[in-house]
Amino acid sequence: MQRQLSLLGHVLKSNGSRFPRPNQGFLPPLRQLPRNLSTDGGTESKEPSFDPFLQSPTKGLIYGRLTGIGKNTLKTDVIHFFEGCGLTMQDIKVDYNRTYASFGMILQFSSWTVFDTATRLITRKGRLYRLEKVDRGQWDLLKFYDGKVVLLQGVPRNALPEDIERFLSGCNFDASSIQIIVRPGFPDPSRFALVHFPSQIEAMNAFRVKNRSFCLNNPILMRVLQ
């Protein structure tokens, strides 16, 4: 028994260095860099993305309603007035009322910068024009006549499309496009006719040749819609 106790003490003494002392803890592992908690598993943090809707728009088409124009104001007059803004005939739509009298235009600008330039031109030139921003929906609602549609005013109440064709005989127009429009009026309703032509030249030619001519003994006033 004494020999066994002696052997046990020898073993504990020789292996004592393998066990930690009561007041001695294990060395902590090397400190690791904090991991990014993003779901993509990346190790580098990403800068927060900038929301483009929080900044002022600087690109894209801008639409403005121009009022204060006269009944005879042409698109070319507006283009000349806003010289330097890059407007073309296709950037302008005329806003007509129910009797096809123009009371404004919708302009399409290439950017906010150009729109601001246009507003400064109005202030500098001292015109009675007024330009206010509108959304694209108002632009889309307007028809684009492009100088190829002629308005006939004073159409007799008993006139038929065939009578309009005879009135425009000798002109190159689309007979299938003739549209007779009736508007309430006093003492009698007003009657108009819209006729489409293949080009601006053909429309202007019909205006020069047929304006103030007679249809069923009624004088017809003609106007080219822009």
* Contact (Cβ atoms closer than 8 angstroms) between residue 123 and residue 64: no
Where does a domain end: 141, 165, 188? 141
Query: Residue 167 domain-assigned?
Result: yes
The answer to whether residue 4 sits within a structural domain is: no
- Does 37 fall in a domain? no
* Beta-ladder partners of 221: 153
Query: For the chain, how long is the longest CA-to-CA vector?
Result: 148
pLDDT tens by residue, 136-158: 999 999 999 999 999 999 999 99
159 with 221, same domain: the answer is yes
Place of tokens 């943090």: 45
Task: Kindly report which listed range (11-15, 65-69, 192-196, 198-202) carries the lowest average pLDDT score.
Answer: 11-15
The range of the structural domain enclosing residue 71 comes to: 62-141
Percent over 90 (pLDDT), the chain: 65
pTM of the predicted structure, to 2 decimals: 0.69
Which residues 6+ apart lie within 8 Å of 118 measured at CB?
64, 82, 85, 107, 109, 131
Question: Do residues 209 and 166 share a domain?
Answer: yes
Note whether 93 and 161 are same-domain residues. Answer: no
Average model confidence (pLDDT) across the chain: 82
Say if residue 79 is in the same domain as residue 131: yes
The string of pLDDT tens digits covering residues 93-134 is 999 998 899 989 999 999 999 999 999 999 998 778 999 999
Q: Which of 86, 110, 141 is the last residue of a domain?
A: 141
Residue 135 lies in a domain: yes
The answer to the question of residue 193 being in a domain is yes
Which of 4-8, 20-24, 58-62, 112-116 has maximum average pLDDT?
112-116
Could you tell me if 113 and 159 lie in one domain? no
- pLDDT band at residue 59, thresholds of 50, 70 and 90? low
Residue 34 lies in a domain: no
Of 89, 124, 141, the position where a domain reaches its end is 141
Q: What CATH number does residue 190 fall under? A: 3.30.70.330
Quick one: tokens of 214? 């007679």
What integer pLDDT is reported at residue 118 of this predicted model? 97
The number of domains in the chain is 2
| CA 188 to mean position of chain CA atoms | 40
Residues 102 and 170 in one domain: no
Q: Which tokens hold the place of 103?
A: 């009371």
pLDDT band at 34; cut points 50, 70, 90: very low
Q: 3-state SS string over the chain?
A: CHHHHHHHHHHHHHCHHHCCCCCCCCCCCCCCCCCCCCCCCCCCCCCCCCCHHHCCCCCCCEEEEEECCCCCCCHHHHHHHCCCCCCCHHHEEEEECCCCCEEEEEEEECCHHHHHHHHHHHHHHCCCCEEEEECHHHHHHCCCCCCCEEEEECCCCCCCHHHHHHHCCCCCCCHHHCEEEEECCCCCCEEEEEEECCCHHHHHHHHHHHCCCEECCEECEEEEEC
43 — pLDDT class (breaks 50, 70, 90): very low
100 with 168, same domain: the answer is: no
Q: Shortest CA distance to 62 belongs to which of 45, 86, 38?
A: 86
Whether residue 77 is found in the same domain as residue 132: yes
Report whether 114 contacts 131 (CB < 8 A): no
Domain-embedded: residue 50: no
Q: For residue 137, is it within any domain?
A: yes
